Amino acid sequence: MFALHNLGWNDFQRLCLTITREILRQTVESFLDSGDGGRDGAFTGKWSATGQENLSGCFVIQCKFTSRINHVLRKSDLSDEVGKAKKLVGQGLCDSYVLMTNAGLSGTGDGKIKVLFKGAGVKHVATFGSTWISQQIRENKRLRMLVPRVYGLGDLSQILDERAYVQARTTLESMREDLAKVVVTEAYRKAVDAINKHGFVLLIGEPAAGKTTIASLLAMAALDQWNASTLKLDDPGKVAEHWNPDEPSQFFWLDDAFGVTQYEDFLVHRWNHILPQIRPMLRKGAKIVMTSRDYIYNRARKDLKQSAFPLLKESQVVIDVQALSDGEKRQILYNHLKLGKQPRSFRTEIKPCLEGVASHPRFIPETARRLGDPLFTKDLFIDEYYIDQFVEKREQLLQEILQGLDTDSKAALALIYMRNGRLESPIQLRPSETQALERLGSDLGGCVAALEALKGSLALLSHESGEYVWQFKHPTIGDTYAEILIQSSEHIGIYMEGSAPERLVEQVTCGDVGIEKAVVVPKSLFPQMLAKLKEVSQSKSYKSARLSIFGAKRALQGFLARRCSKQFLSLYVQHNPGLLDQVAEPGLFLDTVPEVRLAKRLHEVGLLPEEKRRRFVETVSNYALEGQDADALDDDGIRSLFSNGEFEELVRRVRTELLPRLGDVRREWESNHSSGKSPEEHMQQLLELFNSLGKQFGDDESAVKLIDREIRRTSEWIDENTPEEPERASRKLGKVEAQEKPKSTRSIFDDVDANEDVESE
């Protein structure tokens, strides 16, 4: 059975409307006002009820909702409805009466109810109780997708097969409470359309706007509809690693794809690296959902190779989840209060203010979650002014709550933050973290106890990439914790001491370089930071030792290029002069190697010697002339290291030396193809070289013809050498239409304070 009593009167009416359309196949005119004379909905026409005679005429639908658990409907519960039905019969508006209720219906009681309404002149009476409604939810996948709240209102093992249930339990069980509170929004409908059409969706929005909730709904629907193998990953590079070409129904979920609280360029580089593999994955049936904060995506899009993955350019897969309607905001607020942890007395006291909360310009879903949790409202005075301030000053109030926590709770949050928002469970402290906890006045035992107490409010234990991890309940908690750290240099020192260096380079800046939400290391702590950076020799993100060293080098150079002031860079170069030789000779794939950005940064702050600059220019010029990588022609960052004369000389030589032998370059690329890569993936770099040449020589008709010819021949070679893929049935979730809203003057918050022993229609 499903906990239908938790729906509330408004959502129960919507569920009944959806069942009427999807299961009973009737188009209901509308749901009417609570003072309509006994009709919550109506339709006129014919209805062929299964196993019964064909019915026709005027139908009245009445939804009887109760907040009581296991309540069985009685004749006395319907005395008002019977009188109203008699009047409707007299007006010729009720030939058949359909009663839908989340209460139980006994066989004897059902018979008495039908006799009661027939005595009022109704010709035909149909009754549908909680058992029948729960059965429809269990048996109808599309109904569950249209009303996804039911995923959190019942036992998932009832509706999913064994494999899908295991997936749901490990991936989504930690979000079960949130699933019970979800609201089908326009953003969710757009996301479903994108998955149906493209197999890919990128959800963009400000912090706490509901991106993760929509992603979880899509993942749950994929599990339910397709028995999809669902993987929640924290790194774009792991998508290709986990992809199985023989398993077409894989669903990949990447939360905060380009950084949790700040833009992390190494994630974009990994995404760029796997872009050529993404298109064949989607063609073979894989589905991918990614989320990103809006300000992070705005930075990431400049570095994403959108030409290699055109879907990123198409607006229909970039969804702003912030645009909530007034009705959606009310329903979100209702659900979080109704199913939250607040006592009935609080819900009763705050009920008159809820319309104002939902209509507040700064209302977001996270506002509703906080109002539903006593931890956030323990000092809230229930008054219109103070509640308005609660919504308006949400960041300031959260900071006050975190500062007011006990010592162990603060230390527990510090551990999560020090691990970049992902603290593996069971917790294994590093020696430096043990020291940091001691200085914070806590220990491992105190932190573990605090995390258990904070679970559901400020912390969350989830299952990702095959392991259990403690995370902030919402990333905004990490944002606020960073702001608290910034207020004390002593706290920053503790944080630096306790943080692994590979995590540290993703979160701090040495000096203020304008990165949002970053912890700024002051000049006084630069020596400590230099010492930590000496430890960046391997990355734990890779299994291979070679890749670990490469990944650490990328992380370190990316940190120096983006997160360091001139003063710190000067200090670092003094201690590490060999760095200049590294950046002077960058490797291939110039759009992804970190040396390019670091060379640009050192050059613009006057720390790249002239001899190293000339060697850099010579290296990238040779790549272009050899037909390996022509980014030097159209990358503004690389171009900035050239003098005008050097760049003009490069363009001249490319025109006279490279263009005449483009065909030979193409044939050499073809001959170097190995079976380990798909033809499309192998030739992607060559196509990007042609693209760079096309931009540079776009005003030269003969050059354009030559380049277009080689692009065409490359595409033909890819088609000829790509094996045909077997036909696969298209998998779609199905369109989610906007649900008709009950036309009622009754407030949605009318029964928000009803307890399970109180009945509501």
Q: Locate 676 and state its tokens.
A: 């380990």
Residues 547-567: tens digit of each pLDDT: 567 777 888 998 999 999 999
Q: Which residues of 114-124 are buried (b: 16+ CB within 10 A; e: fewer)?
A: bebbeebebeb
Spatial distance between the Cα atoms of 754 and 743, rounded to a whole number of angstroms:
22
DSSP 199-268: SEEEEEESTTSSHHHHHHHHHHHHHHHH--EEEEES-THHHHHH--TT-TTEEEEETTTT-SSS--HHHH
Element holding 98 (H helix, E strand): strand 96-101
Token pair 């890779």 in the structure block, residue: 542
Model confidence pTM above 0.75: no
For 673, left (φ over 0), alpha (ψ -120 to 50), or beta? Answer: beta
| Helices 526-533 and 489-498: angle between axes, nearest 10 degrees | 10
DSSP 61: E
Asked whether 144 and 151 are in contact (CB, 8 A), the reply is yes
Q: What's the pLDDT score for residue 318? A: 67
> Is 289 buried (19+), middle (13-18) or exposed (0-12) by CB count in 10 A?
buried
Report pLDDT for 538. Answer: 54
Nearest C-alpha neighbor of 296 from the set 271, 267, 262, 270: 262
What pLDDT does 548 receive?
62
Is-contact 305 713, C-beta < 8 A?
A: no
The count of residues in the chain is 761
Sequence-separated (6 or more) residues with CB below 8 Å from residue 402:
410, 413, 458, 477, 480, 481, 484
> Which tens digit of pLDDT belongs to each residue from 320-367?
766 788 888 999 999 999 999 999 999 999 999 999 999 999 898 889
Within 605-700, residue ranges assigned H as helices are: 610-625, 631-634, 636-639, 644-653, 662-671, 679-696
- What is the predicted pLDDT for the residue at 729? 61
Map tokens 């080098």 to a residue.
Answer: 553
Distances (CA, A) of 254 to 65, 211, 225, 280, 446: 39, 11, 20, 18, 32
Do residues 735 and 225 make contact, with C-beta atoms less than 8 angstroms apart?
no
Distance CA(541)–CA(414), nearest Å, equals: 22
In the chain, the percentage of residues whose pLDDT exceeds 90 is 30
DSSP 8-state secondary structure symbol assigned to residue 322 = T
Half-sphere exposure of 761 (CA within 13 A, CB side): 16
What are the average pLDDT values for consecutive 10-residue runs of the chain, which has 761 residues? 87 88 73 50 60 69 88 88 89 89 90 91 91 91 85 76 65 72 87 88 83 86 81 77 76 85 76 77 86 86 72 63 83 92 94 94 89 91 93 86 90 87 89 85 93 89 79 83 76 77 83 83 91 74 58 86 94 94 90 89 95 95 92 88 94 93 91 81 86 88 91 91 69 67 72 67 45
CB neighbours (10 Å) of residue 378?
A: 9
Beta bridge partners of 519: 508
d(CA 540, CA 453): 30
Secondary structure of residue 356 in the 3-state scheme: helix
State residue 570's pLDDT score. Answer: 95
Report the chain's C-alpha Rg in angstroms: 31
